[in-house]
């Protein structure tokens, strides 16, 4: 039997703010005052290298006074900020987590079905102070973050882009669940309209991601913020040992660091469009060349339990792609709307790739070159020479991936999800803005060879044409001419903006 379309409230999701918690205020119970104090002074304690000492001397608090979901969320935020600060806050990372952190943290994590490490939920979803309700389309500057490691505006902005992303993207969730229901009743018009609106939302979301550079300096991100986001996998084979003071310490645990790959919203966008990523690395038989096969699926373990189950539910009922394949021929508005969403996801991933180059690759190369220069100036032959070229050293994401090959692979997978369609020579559809249409043209330019080859044409075109012959080739010719025009426009205007990886 087909599962019903999920009801959002069953999964701790809201139609207006999605996966984001509406508010996670500071813990008011005086019993937890010490946690709030440490978190309030986190940057100062870290700068003074006093955080480990302070946490080591905290009392071991119970979770008995946490009552509301908001309080349980806030406890997770406080404890994971303290944890990552404790581990990464001094020159040498600390592997052993003391009982004042271990005992409450493991309980809070069991409550949320989250791992005991800083995740996207604690860093972004639950880490903003001001209620976002009431604002029709909150921008990052309208919001305030409650905890940071560094106290910098850059770190606030880094989280706030994601918070705004979650709230601006939230309407897509009910929109596309309704589209799934509409596809079940073969309501092509509604599915088409929903996909068109989805494509518009993607444009706005991409513009938001592109605002990262406005207030987050790549050097501050790379050298000051990013080290605190690392997971215990970055500690090598040992991992983190959580000491509870009562039982013999267990073996070290290894977790990935905080990453936007843990955003349920972005996984929802892929799922609903039928963009498939490899299943969990533990169950995956095929391993990608980057060794990161299954990473996206693995990231579900870093989402709060209800959100993870929501995605599992959606995966079982996602029908939009199949519906478009079945009902939308290559010329249809339905297929154009579907492909506009795929293109939108590609453009968003390209913007993200550029950002990763700017915020990780470039600063890591500069740091490598500086270190090399210092080594040469010292004439230090006692230490091993640094790699001759930065490429020799693999830069990894906080989630632990070999980042550029991994992200490019995901982007390519997204673009391959496009369904074959014939480019229309007519003007752009009214629901797509001009920049998006130009980006589409640039994409088309890359597909020019495919488009000019009759083999590329799907069987449906032959069906439309009554089985082939002259019309078939006229159709190919028209499509090729349209593509050539778009190719020229695309190469002239856009190619430098969307490529690069
Ligand atoms: C300075 C800003 C950012 C940097 C340096 C960055 C870096 C990375 C890296 C290295 C990965 C690979 C996985 C890992 O190892 O962690 C990743 C994955 C990902 N990031 Fe970002 N990220 C940034 C901001 C964002 C923002 C603002 C969003 C969206 C709101 C985002 C969405 C994603 C997604 C969805 C993935 C999973 C791969 C995919 O689905 O394409 N990132 N990011």
Substitution site in 260, 268, 407 for ligand 1 pocket (most atoms within 8 Å of beta carbon)? 260
- Find the 364 Cα to ligand 1 centroid distance in Å: 17
Q: Can you tell me the distance from the alpha carbon of 126 to that of 307, in angstroms, rounded to the nearest whole number?
A: 13
- Find the 202 Cα to ligand 1 centroid distance in Å: 16
**Strand segments (E) across 409-466:** none
Residues 386-417 have pLDDT tens digits of 443 334 456 777 776 788 899 999 999 999 99
- Find the 103 Cα to ligand 1 centroid distance in Å: 31
Q: Residue 466 has what pLDDT? A: 28
Atom 42 of ligand 1 has which residue's CA nearest to it? 260
Q: Residue 374 has what pLDDT? A: 82
- Find the 262 Cα to ligand 1 centroid distance in Å: 9
- Find the 102 Cα to ligand 1 centroid distance in Å: 28
At 1, is the pLDDT very low, low, confident or very high (cuts 50, 70, 90)? confident
- For residue 134, how many other CB atoms are within 10 A of its CB? 7
Atom 32 of ligand 1 has which residue's CA nearest to it? 260
- Find the 399 Cα to ligand 1 centroid distance in Å: 9
Q: Ligand 1: which atom is nearest the Cα of residue 400?
A: 15
Beta bridge partners of 279: none
Q: Residue 449 has what pLDDT? A: 36
Q: Residue 403 has what pLDDT? A: 87
Substitution site in 164, 259, 408 for ligand 1 pocket (most atoms within 8 Å of beta carbon)? 259
The structure tokens listed for 250 are 């267990």
Residue 285 has pLDDT above 50, yes or no: no
At 250, is the pLDDT very low, low, confident or very high (cuts 50, 70, 90)? confident
- Find the 265 Cα to ligand 1 centroid distance in Å: 13
Q: Ligand 1: which atom is nearest the Cα of residue 295?
A: 13
Atom 1 of ligand 1 has which residue's CA nearest to it? 359
Q: Ligand 1: which atom is nearest the Cα of residue 358?
A: 5
Q: Can you tell me the distance from the alpha carbon of 501 to that of 494, in angstroms, rounded to the nearest whole number?
A: 15
- Find the 311 Cα to ligand 1 centroid distance in Å: 19
At 334, is the pLDDT very low, low, confident or very high (cuts 50, 70, 90)? very high
Residues 191-249 have pLDDT tens digits of 999 999 999 999 999 999 999 999 999 999 999 999 999 999 999 888 999 999 999 88
Residue 102 has pLDDT above 90, yes or no: yes
- Find the 408 Cα to ligand 1 centroid distance in Å: 12
Q: Ligand 1: which atom is nearest the Cα of residue 406?
A: 12
The structure tokens listed for 23 are 């508010």
Residue 446 has pLDDT above 80, yes or no: no
Say which residue, 8 or 436, is predicted with more confidence: 8
Q: Can you tell me the distance from the alpha carbon of 170 to that of 13, in angstroms, rounded to the nearest whole number?
A: 9
HEC readout, 188-230: HHHHHHHHHHHHHHHHHHHHHHCCHHHHCCHHHHHHHHHHHHC
Residue 277 has pLDDT above 50, yes or no: yes
Q: Residue 133 has what pLDDT? A: 59
The mean per-residue pLDDT over the stretch 42-55 comes to: 98
Atom 34 of ligand 1 has which residue's CA nearest to it? 261
The mean per-residue pLDDT over the stretch 351-372 comes to: 92
The string over 140-156, giving b where at least 16 C-beta atoms fall within 10 Å of a residue's C-beta and e elsewhere, is beebebbbbbbebebbb
- Find the 248 Cα to ligand 1 centroid distance in Å: 37
Q: Ligand 1: which atom is nearest the Cα of residue 398?
A: 16
- For residue 77, how many other CB atoms are within 10 A of its CB? 25
Long-range CB contacts (within 8 A, 24+) of 110-115: 111/63, 111/72, 112/72, 112/73, 112/76, 112/304, 112/305, 113/304, 113/305, 113/308, 114/76, 114/302, 114/303, 114/304, 114/305, 115/253, 115/255, 115/301, 115/302
Cα of 183 vs its chain's centroid, Å: 27
Beta bridge partners of 18: 14
Nearest in space to 6 (alpha carbons), one of 172, 122, 138, 173: 173
- Find the 210 Cα to ligand 1 centroid distance in Å: 12
Domains of the chain: 8-280+293-327 (1.20.58.480), 460-491 (no CATH)
Atom 40 of ligand 1 has which residue's CA nearest to it? 261
Identify which of 286-290, 481-485, 487-491 has the greatest average pLDDT. Answer: 481-485
C-alpha torsion 342→345→351→357, nearest 10 = -100
Q: Can you tell me the distance from the alpha carbon of 258 to that of 336, in angstroms, rounded to the nearest whole number?
A: 36
Atom 3 of ligand 1 has which residue's CA nearest to it? 356
Residue 31 has pLDDT above 60, yes or no: yes
At 111, is the pLDDT very low, low, confident or very high (cuts 50, 70, 90)? very high
| Phi–psi pair at 263, nearest 5 degrees | -80, 120
Cβ-Cβ contacts under 8 Å for 57 (sequence gap 6 or more):
100
At 426, is the pLDDT very low, low, confident or very high (cuts 50, 70, 90)? very low
Residues 152-199 have pLDDT tens digits of 999 999 999 999 999 999 999 999 999 999 999 999 999 999 999 999
Say which residue, 438 or 347, is predicted with more confidence: 347
Q: Residue 218 has what pLDDT? A: 98
The mean per-residue pLDDT over the stretch 26-46 comes to: 98
Q: Residue 130 has what pLDDT? A: 67
Q: Residue 439 has what pLDDT? A: 58
Substitution site in 162, 352, 394 for ligand 1 pocket (most atoms within 8 Å of beta carbon)? 352
Q: Ligand 1: which atom is nearest the Cα of residue 263?
A: 35
Q: Residue 428 has what pLDDT? A: 52
The mean per-residue pLDDT over the stretch 463-480 comes to: 41
Alpha-carbon distances, residue 426 vs 78, 349, 409 (angstroms): 55, 28, 33
Residue 30 has pLDDT above 80, yes or no: yes
Q: Residue 281 has what pLDDT? A: 61
Task: Kindly write down the DSSP assignment for every residue of 459-483, as one continuous string.
Answer: HHHHHHTTSSSHHHHHHHHHHHHHH
Q: Ligand 1: which atom is nearest the Cα of residue 257?
A: 16
Atom 11 of ligand 1 has which residue's CA nearest to it? 397
Q: Ligand 1: which atom is nearest the Cα of residue 205?
A: 30
Does 277 show up as a binding residue in the annotation? no
- Find the 237 Cα to ligand 1 centroid distance in Å: 25
Residue 353 has pLDDT above 70, yes or no: yes
Q: Ligand 1: which atom is nearest the Cα of residue 226?
A: 5
Q: Residue 494 has what pLDDT? A: 36
Residue 33 has pLDDT above 60, yes or no: yes
HEC readout, 387-406: CCCHHHCCCECCCCCEHHHH
Substitution site in 120, 227, 229, 261 for ligand 1 pocket (most atoms within 8 Å of beta carbon)? 261
Which residues are near ligand 1 (CB < 6 Å)?
161-162, 165, 209, 212, 221, 259-261, 263, 266, 349, 352, 355-356, 359-360, 397-401, 403, 406-407, 410
Cβ-Cβ contacts under 8 Å for 119 (sequence gap 6 or more):
80, 258, 262, 302, 303
Say which residue, 71 or 402, is predicted with more confidence: 71
């Amino acid at each position: 039997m087909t599962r019903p379309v999920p009801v959002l409230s069953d999964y701790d999701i809201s139609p207006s703010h999605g996966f984001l918690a509406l508010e996670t205020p500071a813990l008011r119970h005086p019993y937890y005052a010490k946690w709030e104090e440490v978190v309030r002074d986190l940057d100062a304690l870290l700068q003074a290298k006093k955080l480990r000492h302070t946490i080591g001397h905290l009392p071991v608090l119970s979770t008995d006074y946490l009552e509301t979901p908001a309080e349980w969320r806030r406890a997770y935020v406080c404890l994971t900020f303290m944890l990552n600060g404790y581990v990464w806050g001094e020159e040498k990372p600390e592997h052993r987590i003391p009982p004042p952190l271990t005992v409450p943290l493991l309980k809070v994590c069991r409550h949320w079905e989250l791992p005991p490490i800083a995740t996207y939920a604690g860093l972004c979803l639950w880490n903003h102070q001001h209620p976002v309700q009431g604002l029709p389309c909150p921008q990052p500057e309208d919001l305030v973050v409650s905890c940071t490691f560094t106290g910098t505006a850059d770190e606030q902005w880094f989280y706030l882009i994601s918070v705004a992303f979650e709230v601006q993207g939230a309407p897509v969730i009910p929109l596309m669940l309704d589209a799934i229901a509409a596809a079940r009743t073969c309501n092509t018009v509604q599915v088409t309209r929903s996909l068109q609106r989805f494509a518009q939302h993607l444009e706005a979301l991409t513009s938001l991601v592109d605002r990262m550079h406005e207030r987050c300096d790549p050097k501050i991100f790379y050298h000051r913020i990013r080290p605190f986001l690392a997971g215990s996998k970055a500690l090598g084979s040992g991992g983190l040992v959580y000491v509870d003071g009562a039982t013999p310490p267990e073996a070290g645990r290894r977790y990935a660091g905080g990453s936007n790959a843990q955003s349920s919203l972005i996984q929802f966008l892929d799922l609903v469009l039928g963009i498939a990523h490899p299943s969990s690395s533990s169950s995956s038989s095929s391993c990608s060349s980057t060794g990161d096969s299954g990473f996206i699926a693995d990231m579900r373990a870093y989402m709060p339990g209800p959100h993870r189950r929501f995605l599992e539910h959606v995966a079982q009922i996602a029908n939009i792609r199949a519906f478009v394949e079945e009902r939308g021929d290559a010329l249809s508005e339905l297929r154009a709307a579907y492909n506009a969403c795929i293109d939108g996801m590609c453009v968003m991933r390209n913007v993200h790739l550029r950002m990763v180059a700017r915020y990780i690759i470039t600063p890591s190369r500069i740091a490598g070159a500086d270190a090399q220069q210092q080594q040469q100036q010292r004439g230090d032959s006692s230490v091993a020479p640094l790699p001759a070229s930065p490429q020799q050293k693999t830069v990894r994401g906080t989630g632990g991936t070999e980042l550029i090959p991994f992200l490019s692979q995901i982007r390519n997978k997204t673009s391959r999800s496009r369904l074959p369609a014939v480019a229309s020579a007519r003007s752009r559809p009214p629901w797509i803005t001009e920049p998006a249409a130009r980006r589409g043209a640039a994409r088309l330019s890359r597909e020019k060879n495919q488009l000019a080859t009759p083999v590329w044409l799907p069987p449906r075109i032959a069906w439309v044409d009554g089985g082939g012959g002259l019309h078939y080739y006229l159709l190919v010719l028209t499509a090729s001419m349209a593509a050539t025009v778009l190719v020229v426009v695309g190469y002239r205007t856009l190619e430098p903006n969307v490529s690069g990886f």
